[in-house]
Amino acid sequence: MDQLKPKPANSVPLTPLSLLERAATIYGECPSIVYKATTYTWSHTHDRCLRIASSLATLGIRHGDVVSVIAPNIPAAYELHFAAPMSGAVLNNINIRLDPRTISILLRHSESKLLFVYHQLSPLVLQAMSLLPPHHPRPLLVLVTDNEYDYDHFTPNSEEFHTTYENMVRNGDPEFQWIRPKSEWDPIVLNYTSGTTSSPKGVVHCHRGSFITTMDALVDWSVPKNPVYLWTLPMFHSNGWGFTWGMAAVGGANICLKKFDGATIHAAIRAHQVTHMCAAPIVLNMLTTLTSDPGPLSWPVHILTGGSPPPAPVLLRAESLGFVVGHGYGLTETGGVIISCAWKPHWNQFPALERARLRARQGVRTLGLTQIDILNPITGQPVSRDGKTVGEIVLRGGCIMLGYLKDPEGTSKCMGNDGWFKTGDLGVMHKDGYLEIKDRSKDIIISGGENISSVEVENVLYTFPALNEVAVVAKPDDYWGETPCAFVSLRKGLKEKPTERDVIEHCRAKMPHYMVPKKVVFKDELPKTSTGKIQKYLLREVAKTLSSIGNANTATTTATASLASRL
């Protein structure tokens, strides 16, 4: 037995890229991407990806080079999930909501060689480029528009762009022999979790991990063949939780929306007969708080939502409209959803309160994760399965990231020799093996589907000279899910006391808008433990009680404005 070793025929690297050619063979005539007036088939997508990959190679992109893209959910963003790594590159998807300073930090940290820029984001990117240090190598800029027909009407007003995406398609070679990974541990994507501090976390996933995430996502959600998948989840969020590659595996149609509100999504669902969509909790809110009643759907639309479990009223409204809602938990570090609230049919017979209690739990590990546990942070031993004892959630499995780019210390801190990946999130294990998150030790606030590190917001607040102490916590919000709420105390002896507006203006100048505290509370002193640590759990309780009258409407307006602001 021991003499049987891996051989080239069975140890060929696992990679989601191998799914594309297969999709072109089986689903060649089926729609792959639908966007505005454009419909591509899987034959087109295969052809276009090979052409882009070959053009990247022609431009000098080599194995392991970082290629970035900053774009909303348009065809090019989808295609690059295959095309960029098919050239041997590592794809780096940049969040379009970041500010120029953060983008420049990411470009510098990733040493990106080439950046695909959506035309409406070019002012943002050019500003980011201007913030790069003088002698830092510049990435080549490639202009991307909505689709191939747009380019004729579009004259870039800048010489900064080397070429356009469609030129790369046109000049590319559809017979290109794409660069297969040498090892399944070769990086395939680089996703930044956040970036306003001086040490951004660049999560690197490998081909093997992304393949496992893809298969896992499909089996855990029971995705059938030829689904119609609506993109509201940004592809730059963990590569759409693996469903970018996943749609090639099952021959799905990717319905792309650049920007949307509830009415747009309802219209798209009906126009394309959408069957599946992933969505931040805020999108569920949009779908269920329309001013005009869209009427019930005549077929089930499956929605997978992440972050916090949807509140019971939202869930009920969504289900009454014909949505089948699942929810899960994942981190950028895990590639996609790795804990999902697998619902048991007999739970439907329980009273509403009990159902809500069960639904509030994140759930059980998906198939791609090998082990999960909750450990006592001091002893390192599993906590008892009593639904009460809090410990740190730890994971082990093939979908866990390779590590943080250029951060061996950060990597070994969360992936040490004990073989666990430490999430930093706190939770309890219920008697039945279902897990529930109780607190995030990393102090993450999830607002409108974006993760906000409270520490990062605090760092910016501390640059406001009048402030003495600051603490940022999540404030529950009917629309956004959560918003950052700042508690601050002022320095002694100030001549002029700043207003809430002053503090907010200060933040808006220094960070992406979605991270700015929506509320600033002035205190004489912040509550602290005997060892001087700010008692955030007390502040969270206060934040919950703060008035949110009139917020819903304001929020709706802000949401639409914010999502649309750059597009």
Which residues in 203-222 contact its own copies (CB under 8 A)?
204, 206, 209, 212, 215-216, 218-219, 222
Establish if 90 lies at the interface with its own copies (CB under 8 A).
yes
Closest distance to its own copies from the beta carbon of 114 (Å): 16
Residues 422-451 close enough to bind its own copies by CB under 8 A:
432-434
Nearer to its own copies, 106 or 486 (CB): 106
Scanning 24-32, 78-86, 300-308, 464-472 for contacts with its own copies by CB under 8 A, the matching segment is: 24-32
Nearer to its own copies, 1 or 352 (CB): 1
Establish if 4 lies at the interface with its own copies (CB under 8 A).
yes
Nearer to its own copies, 373 or 439 (CB): 373
Closest distance to its own copies from the beta carbon of 344 (Å): 7
Establish if 39 lies at the interface with its own copies (CB under 8 A).
no
Nearer to its own copies, 422 or 506 (CB): 422
Closest distance to its own copies from the beta carbon of 41 (Å): 12
CB 459 within 8 A of CB 197: yes
> What string of H, E and C letters represents the secondary structure of 162-178?
EEEHHHHHHHCCCCCCC
Residues 449-478 close enough to bind its own copies by CB under 8 A:
none
Establish if 299 lies at the interface with its own copies (CB under 8 A).
no
Nearer to its own copies, 71 or 401 (CB): 401
Establish if 3 lies at the interface with its own copies (CB under 8 A).
yes
CB 86 within 8 A of CB 172: no
Count of residues binding its own copies (CB under 8 A)? 73
Establish if 564 lies at the interface with its own copies (CB under 8 A).
no
- Exposed / middle / buried, residue 263 (Cβ in 10 Å: 0-12, 13-18, 19+): middle
Instruction: Give the span between the Cα atoms of 554 and 416, in whole angstroms.
Output: 45
Establish if 137 lies at the interface with its own copies (CB under 8 A).
no
Establish if 550 lies at the interface with its own copies (CB under 8 A).
no
Q: How many residues does the chain have?
A: 567
Instruction: Give the span between the Cα atoms of 392 and 388, in whole angstroms.
Output: 13
3-state secondary structure of 336: coil
Q: DSSP per residue over 182-201, as a string?
A: SSTTSEEEEEES--SSSS--
Instruction: Give the span between the Cα atoms of 48 and 172, in whole angstroms.
Output: 8
3-state secondary structure of 440: strand
User: Which position among 250, 303, 338, 393 is part of the footprint of its own copies (CB under 8 A)?
Assistant: 250
Closest distance to its own copies from the beta carbon of 441 (Å): 18
Establish if 15 lies at the interface with its own copies (CB under 8 A).
yes
CB 257 within 8 A of CB 268: yes
Residues 56-75 close enough to bind its own copies by CB under 8 A:
64, 66
Query: Which residue, chain included where needed, has tokens 């693996």?
Result: 242
> At CA 53, angle to CA 47 and CA 57, rounded to 5?
145
CB 277 within 8 A of CB 232: yes
Residues 337-356 close enough to bind its own copies by CB under 8 A:
342, 344-346
3-state secondary structure of 121: helix
Residues 355-414 close enough to bind its own copies by CB under 8 A:
364-365, 367, 370-371, 395-403, 405, 408, 411
Nearer to its own copies, 28 or 527 (CB): 28
Cα-flanking dihedrals φ and ψ of residue 256, to 5°?
Answer: -95, 135
Closest distance to its own copies from the beta carbon of 8 (Å): 4
User: Which position among 22, 162, 317, 357 is part of the footprint of its own copies (CB under 8 A)?
Assistant: 22
Q: Tally Cβ neighbours within 10 Å of residue 241.
A: 24
Q: DSSP per residue over 135-171, as a string?
A: TSPPPEEEEE-SSTTGGGG---S-TTEEEEHHHHHHH
Scanning 12-20, 100-108, 439-447, 524-532 for contacts with its own copies by CB under 8 A, the matching segment is: 12-20
User: Which position among 130, 417, 529, 530 is part of the footprint of its own copies (CB under 8 A)?
Assistant: 417
Give the pair of three-digit tokens for residue 84: 């960029």
Q: DSSP per residue over 485-501, as a string?
A: EEEEEEPTT-SSPPPHH
Establish if 158 lies at the interface with its own copies (CB under 8 A).
no
3-state secondary structure of 231: strand
Closest distance to its own copies from the beta carbon of 323 (Å): 18
Closest distance to its own copies from the beta carbon of 132 (Å): 20
Nearer to its own copies, 331 or 515 (CB): 331
Establish if 25 lies at the interface with its own copies (CB under 8 A).
yes
Instruction: Give the span between the Cα atoms of 297 and 49, in whole angstroms.
Output: 35
Residues 164-203 close enough to bind its own copies by CB under 8 A:
185, 187
